[in-house]
Structure 1
Amino acid sequence: MKKNIFIIGGSLRKKSYNKFLASNLIEIGKNDFNFEIFSDFNLLPMYNTDDHSENDWPSALLEIGDKIKNADGVIFITPEYNFSVPGYLKNCIDWISRLPNQPLDKKPVCIQSASLGPLGGARVQYHLRQILVFLNARVMNKNEIFVTFAKTKFDETGKLIDEQTINFIKDQLNGFKIFINE
């Protein structure tokens, strides 16, 4: 039976390599997973406790929370900004963390990142792990996906063309399927 995976990721950029990475998962994992991607971070205002009450949540946030709760697992796909988590993703997580019955609590999660440089977003993944540990998400430790030199791994349409990277992703997805069932 296919697992339902909610992807939170991408970037604000239209031609982001992280958006490309997220969209390629649909093809790579199609035999084992149903994927849904959330990447419209503009739907959430900047988090401020003065702007909401327990009964007044942004509708996009309630939808994200429901999708996380109903998913078998969540995959975060993110670029690295200034050695850390991009502000729009942190804002999204801050909103999610305030929901009643925390949807990320004990939720199986894995992380991927793509970067133009040689580290592939390693630092953002470590910072994101710290945040997710605080929220009590079950973060998969291995296999990690750091797509280095991303410009050379995708074609002009955003299709992932690097076989080694595709195989690494297949390995991670196979591991995630097992991790979800643990």
Structure 2
Amino acid sequence: MTDLKLVGLCGSLRGASTNRLLMLEAARRFGEAEFIEGDLRLPLYDGDLEDQSGIPEAVQILADQIAAADAVIVATPEYNKGISGVLKNALDWISRTKGTPWANKPVAIMSAAAGRAGGERTQNMARLCLTPFRPLLLTGPEVMVAATSKQWDDQGRLINELNAKALDDLMQALRHHAVAHRSA
């Protein structure tokens, strides 16, 4: 199936983010699909802003991209033992949109972090934050790229064989669920 739609969310805005590298590598390993990286450069959630102006256009675009996707990749850095404010803010805003863009949507969470655990805590927190939206959260294999600055070649490809194998397996599972989701 070549017309699958895959959306990627990167919880880091930094241009040289290794979580962005991980998200892009995951999309490549997912296989043929239309890939869109969601823009998380959103205003801070503010109920007063929402009351005065409604849902910002950028938020609605992101929610619509997720709703239209067959699957979503969430690549999250670990900031101070949790998810980034950027990712949490996006989840908070999306929760305010009409409809249920996340419902039953296959979602793969992954992380790249400087520490030796590779972002285990951030993945746990991301799962907790996504659970109320009732997506189909893949439970594994877990992809946690530790010592992330040393895990990429000059073309931005993952070089650690164990991480690459886990990422391949996770993307194969995500693709399987995306096809099943589309058929449902």
Task: State how far apart, in whole Å, the 2-side matches of 1:119 and 1:135 are.
Answer: 27
Q: Deviations over 1:38-62 (max 9, x none)?
A: 2x422x1110111114972211111
Tell me the equivalent position of 1:98: 96
Q: TM-score, normalised by structure 2?
A: 0.89
Which amino acid in the other structure matches residue 110 of structure 1?
A
CA positional deviation for 1:99? 0.6
Cα separation, 1, equivalents of 2:16 and 2:67: 29
Q: Distance in 1 between matches of 2:26 and 2:110?
A: 11
Aligned to 1:136: 134
Correspondence for 2:148: 150
What does residue 40 of structure 2 align with? Answer: 41
- Taking the TM superposition and a 5 Å limit, the aligned residue runs for 1:90-129 are 90-129=88-127
> 1:5 maps to which residue?
6
CA deviation map 1:88-135 (0-9, x unaligned): 110010000011112112221110100111111010110110111112
**Counterpart-to-counterpart distance in 1, 2:28 and 2:116:** 26
Runs of 5+ in structure 2 lacking a partner?
A: none
Q: How much has 1:156 moved relative to structure 2?
A: 4.3
Structure 1 residue runs without a partner (length 5+): none
Task: Say which SS state the counterpart of residue 160 (structure 1) adopts.
Answer: coil
Amino acid in structure 2 at the alignment position of 1:141: T
Deviates most, 49-58 or 117-126: 49-58
Provide runs of 4+ in structure 1 moved above 4 Å.
none
Equivalent pair of 2:108/2:137 in contact (CA under 8 Å): yes
1:114–1:150 contact (8 Å) kept in structure 2: yes
Q: Distance in 1 between matches of 2:78 and 2:26?
A: 19
Task: Number of aligned residue pairs: give it.
Answer: 179
Match of 2:25 in 1: 24
Tell me the SS of whatever aligns to 2:94. Answer: helix
One-letter code of the match for 1:178?
H
Does residue 50 of structure 1 match 2:51?
Answer: no
Q: CA-to-partner distance for each residue in 1:1-37, whole Å, 9 max, x for gaps?
A: 0321111114122211101111222332234x33211
What SS does structure 2 have at the residue aligned with 1:46?
coil
* Percent of pairs with identical residues: 32
Instruction: Identify the residue that residue 176 of structure 1 maps to in structure 2.
Output: 174
Q: Which moved more, 1:94-103 or 1:9-18?
A: 9-18
**TM-score calculated relative to the size of structure 1:** 0.90
* Conserved 8 A contact 1:26-1:34: no
Please give the alpha-carbon distance, in whole angstroms, between the structure 2 residues aligned to 1:156 and 1:146: 20
**Partner SS, residue 76 of structure 1:** strand
Query: Counterpart of 1:6 in structure 2: which amino acid?
Result: V
- SS for the counterpart of 1:62 is helix
Farther-moved stretch of structure 1 (146-155 vs 54-63): 54-63
Which has the higher mean CA deviation after the structures are superposed, 70-79 or 45-54? 45-54
Contact 1:10 1:16 survives alignment (8 Å): no
Corresponding residue for residue 85 of structure 2: 87
Do the aligned partners of residues 10 and 131 (structure 1) sit closer, same or farther apart at CA in structure 2, a change above 3 Å counting?
Answer: closer
Report the Cα distance in structure 1 between the residues aligned to 2:177 and 2:151, rounded to whole angstroms: 27
